């Protein structure tokens, strides 16, 4: 599945991913010690929703626009990071994970970004100008391992690939196994698109066999049944989620399900431990 982010910025998958990422980092920041935040597939950093590529799909209308108009206060932190990159009430730009993470940084925290695509890496550097982020242009999986263990005792690694390559899931599985050996207590977040339940179940079983003690799966299914050949939702694998995060997760997921359910469908967000 090709999931070049510029075509899907601000869709329902972004809303769920970024809401959970904000909650996860905030939970880590309950302790004063410094964090290292690593984004292995950082993309462009900031997306113009009025641009031709985003307008071609129009997916933000069923994502960020619904979240911004939903009154649930549990979505306030998410709405704040989106509004911070826009002027006034008008929504034109959508912040990718790099710009969101940069907003969450405390003075003691570090942000390391990586984007292999040359044009996207150039755009990313411009989007992050004025921040303290370090930007790399390397193979994502090599960088993932090279950054571990981080200079700080705690951190979060975000793995958010476009799934353009047929071996993407195999590389994630192998790298996660190696990363866990190097940094067993570290927090890792892996995003993935969902097309059908049966196919995805095979990958889940491969990850289960890694034997990672604390591996949480969160899946957001937009429709009440699989819609063949289309994007059905997205999920996150989270290694070592902090306790404070798991405590706030149930009401947050229910708020997201209600806000993002397509017309005529109730939608579903499931969580379980592998």
Name the residues annotated as catalytic. Answer: 160
Give ∠ CA 2-121-65 in degrees, rounded to 5.
Answer: 60
Contacts of 10 (CB under 8 A, 6+ apart): 47, 49, 54, 59, 60, 63, 64, 65, 94
Q: CA–CA separation, 230 vs 11, rounded Å?
A: 14
* Residue 53, φ and ψ in degrees, nearest 5: -70, -45
β-strand partners of 188: 157, 239
Q: CA–CA separation, 140 vs 154, rounded Å?
A: 20
């Amino acid at each position: 599945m090709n999931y070049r982010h510029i075509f899907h910025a601000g869709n329902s998958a972004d809303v769920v991913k970024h809401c959970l990422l904000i909650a996860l980092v905030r939970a880590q920041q309950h302790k004063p010690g410094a964090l290292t935040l690593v984004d292995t597939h950082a993309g462009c950093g900031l997306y113009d929703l009025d641009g031709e590529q985003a307008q071609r799909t129009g997916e933000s209308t069923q994502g960020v626009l619904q979240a911004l108009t939903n009154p649930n206060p549990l979505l306030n932190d998410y709405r704040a990071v989106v509004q911070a990159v826009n002027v006034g009430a008008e929504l034109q730009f959508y912040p990718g994970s790099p710009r969101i993470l940069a907003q969450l940084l405390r003075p003691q925290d570090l942000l390391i970004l990586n984007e292999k695509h040359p044009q996207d890496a150039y755009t990313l550097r411009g989007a992050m100008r004025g921040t303290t982020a370090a930007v790399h242009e390397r193979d994502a999986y090599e960088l993932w391992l090279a950054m571990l263990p981080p200079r700080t005792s705690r951190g979060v690694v975000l793995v958010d690939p476009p799934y353009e390559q047929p071996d993407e899931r195999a590389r994630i599985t192998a790298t996660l196994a190696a990363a866990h050996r190097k940094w067993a207590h570290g927090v890792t977040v892996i995003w993935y698109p969902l097309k059908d339940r049966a196919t995805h179940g095979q990958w889940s079983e491969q990850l289960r066999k890694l034997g990672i003690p604390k591996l949480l799966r969160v899946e957001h299914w937009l429709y009440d049944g699989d819609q063949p050949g289309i994007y059905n939702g997205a999920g996150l694998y989270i290694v070592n989620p902090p306790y404070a995060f798991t405590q706030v997760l149930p009401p947050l997921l229910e708020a997201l399900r209600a806000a993002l359910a397509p017309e005529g469908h109730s939608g579903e967000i499931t969580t379980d431990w592998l």
